[in-house]
Amino acid sequence: MEIRKATEQDLDAIVELDRQIGQIHFEQAPEVFCPPSSQQRAFLLDAIQSEGRQFCVAVLDGVVVGFLSARIDINDTIPFLTKLPVCRITTLVVDEHHRSRGIGKALIVHCDHWAKAKGVSQLKLEVMSFNDRARSLYESLGFKRQSETYAR
């Protein structure tokens, strides 16, 4: 398996992976997530081309089987929060037919190296409470729950 920077040529595969995760989220929380739409294509292309963002793909036998998108944030507005840079993983998706094979872990390790090279020591991400599989992966990689979001 190869982890590399995503390119515009990967867009069709990325859109399909995004559709997979988008459909799951919409089915589980339609009050929060919209169904997958054609608007995602332009959004994802913009993210791939963004200079300040990490957007990488996992490639297995020439096929994109996962992707990770992340960015570095620095708090400069809230006085009670640290000013240290934080790497926020915004999306992590592994193809439904390739899960539980270490692909998600490899993408996170790759992102961690990228963040450390930029002087960032903390990775953060959000995961929906219904996504047991993802929560289990993150916990196995040392992520700890820092907060919970409640909605009514």
Mean pLDDT score, 123-151: 93
Name the residue ranges covered by the structural domains of the chain.
2-140
Q: Above 90 in pLDDT, residue 151?
A: no
pLDDT band at 82 (very low <50, low <70, confident <90, very high): confident
Helix H, strand E, coil C: the string for the chain is: CEEEECCHHHHHHHHHHHHHHHHHHHHHCCCCCCCCCCHHHHHHHHHHHCCCEEEEEEEECCEEEEEEEEEEECCCCCCCCCCCCEEEEEEEEECCCCCCCCHHHHHHHHHHHHHHHCCCCCEEECCCCCCHHHHHHHHHCCCCCCCCCCCC
pLDDT recorded at residue 45: 95
Write out pLDDT tens, residues 36-61.
Answer: 898 999 999 999 999 889 999 999 99
pLDDT recorded at residue 52: 85
pLDDT recorded at residue 150: 87
CATH 3.40.630.30 fits 2-140, yes or no: yes
Q: Above 90 in pLDDT, residue 92?
A: yes
Mean pLDDT score, 21-34: 94
Locus of tokens 């539980």: 100
Q: What is the pTM of this model?
A: 0.92
Mean pLDDT score, 96-124: 95
| 141 compared with 152, residue with greater pLDDT | 141
Query: Who contacts 87 (Cβ-Cβ below 8 Å, separation ≥6)?
Result: 54, 70, 71, 72, 73, 111, 112, 114, 115, 118, 120, 122, 123, 124
Mean pLDDT score, 76-83: 90
Q: Above 90 in pLDDT, residue 152?
A: no
Q: Above 90 in pLDDT, residue 7?
A: yes
pLDDT recorded at residue 62: 96
